[in-house]
């Protein structure tokens, strides 16, 4: 899967008393990037849940903050596929300032496939392997 870039603009509600983006919002932006990454590849997450009967549960999330973003800054979230296995997938993120390209943060999320009915770990169906870069 090719990396995908999602453009955002910092909203006032996303900033803290210091006037910079509150750290937890970077995880929200990663989620936005992830959903748009899959959408760009032709997979709507909502349809994946229904058709595959699976959820992608976040098992681990990491963010490294490099520089502050401020209210009304344009932001680009670049999402790419990391390691993929039949039961787990890792997505990687680069968050940059939309005008200067200055790096703001990097990170990753690891997801476990869960069966929708039982919420127990499950294996990705074969028809989705190519989408996730599996053979």
Averaged pLDDT for residues 56-70: 97
pLDDT, one tens digit per residue, over 97-121 is 999 999 999 999 999 999 999 999 9
pLDDT band at 135 (very low <50, low <70, confident <90, very high): confident
pLDDT, one tens digit per residue, over 27-52 is 999 999 999 999 999 999 999 999 99
Q: What pLDDT score does 1 carry? A: 81
Burial label for 45, CB within 10 Å (0-12, 13-18, 19+), is: middle
Structural domains in the chain plus CATH codes: 4-128 (3.10.129.10)
Is the Cβ–Cβ distance between 19 and 71 less than 8 Å?
A: yes
**What is the C-alpha separation between 70 and 66, in angstroms, rounded?**
13
pLDDT, averaged across the chain: 96
pLDDT band at 86 (very low <50, low <70, confident <90, very high): very high
pLDDT band at 78 (very low <50, low <70, confident <90, very high): very high
Whether 16 sits among the annotated catalytic residues: the reply is yes
Q: Catalytic: which of 16, 47, 72, 73? A: 16
Residue 26 has pLDDT above 90, yes or no: yes
Burial label for 59, CB within 10 Å (0-12, 13-18, 19+), is: middle
- pTM score, whole prediction: 0.94
Is the Cβ–Cβ distance between 113 and 54 less than 8 Å?
A: yes
Residue 23 is given by DSSP the state T
Backbone φ, ψ for residue 50 (5° rounding): -70, -50
């Amino acid at each position: 899967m090719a990396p995908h870039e999602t453009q955002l603009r910092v909203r006032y509600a996303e900033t803290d008393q210091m006037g910079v983006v509150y750290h937890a919002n970077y995880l929200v932006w990663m989620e936005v990037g992830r959903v748009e990454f899959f959408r760009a590849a032709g997979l709507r997450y909502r349809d994946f849940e229904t058709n595959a009967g699976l959820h992608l549960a976040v098992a681990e999330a990491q963010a490294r903050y490099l520089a502050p973003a401020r209210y009304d800054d344009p932001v680009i979230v670049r999402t790419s596929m990391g390691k993929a296995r039949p039961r787990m997938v890792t997505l990687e993120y680069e968050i940059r300032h939309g005008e200067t390209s200055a790096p703001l943060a990097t990170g990753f999320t690891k997801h476990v496939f869960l069966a929708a009915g039982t919420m127990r770990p499950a294996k990705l169906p074969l028809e989705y392997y190519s989408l996730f870069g599996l053979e």
